[in-house]
Structure 1
């Protein structure tokens, strides 16, 4: 069986008055999760129509990598300040089936392009 990349989504609500606390806590988590085996990237997104609704996504090499990090010592303590800001939270896990463009081409620059003039 081929292991697929995984996308983990947290759909959360944060009271407007807790926004700064939430974003500060996210920054701490974001910097500490970099370097965790299998972690590829993460994002925090705010709803365009509801200022209390947020989406936190992370991408992992495999779902097993995320689950290993989730079970690791200190995981809950690391996320505690962020979770304390939530008035609601829902977690979803997906396996990436397809993506455009392919990961290898996302940051590629054609050889004939002079990047000094961009």
Structure 2
């Protein structure tokens, strides 16, 4: 029996040189649009501490079906295009979340 807790997508990105500011500006334009999509639970954009051109966007979805439904829409491609204009290389990794631990509350 499966104890699925969602669907995690990792976009591993290498930005074009000197495009960080424009990339983050484009991310700001799309993040709240994606946040309103059915099944989206949250996302993060992260920069490597050792390589300023290496980034990762993580997103958590209720299910694989929710993510794929969004990914297949013309709106997804339109929304992502301004960010992708600053990307030199990319890789998409997808995982089913089976266990999740949240921070313990101090008592």
Q: Relative contact order: is structure 1 or structure 2 higher (C-alpha 8 Å, sep ≥ 6)? A: 2
User: 3-state DSSP class of the match of 2:56?
Assistant: strand
Considering only CA atoms, is the larger Rg found in Structure 1 or Structure 2? Answer: 1
Q: Which has the higher strand share?
A: 2
- What secondary structure sits across from 2:45 in the alignment? strand
Q: Which residue of 1 aligns with 2:71?
A: 70
Report the TM-score when normalising by structure 2. 0.89
Tell me the TM-score normalised to structure 1 length: 0.81
* 8 Å Cα contact 2:46-2:57 kept in structure 1: yes
Question: For the aligned residues, what is the CA RMSD?
Answer: 2.0
> Where does structure 2 lack aligned partners over 5 or more consecutive residues?
none
- Unpaired runs of at least 5, structure 1: 114-118
How many corresponding residue pairs? Answer: 106
Structure 1 stretches of at least 4 aligned residues deviating more than 2 Å after TM superposition: 1-4
**Given the superposition, is the C-alpha separation of residues 72 and 2 from structure 1 closer, same or farther in structure 2, using an over 3 Å criterion?**
farther
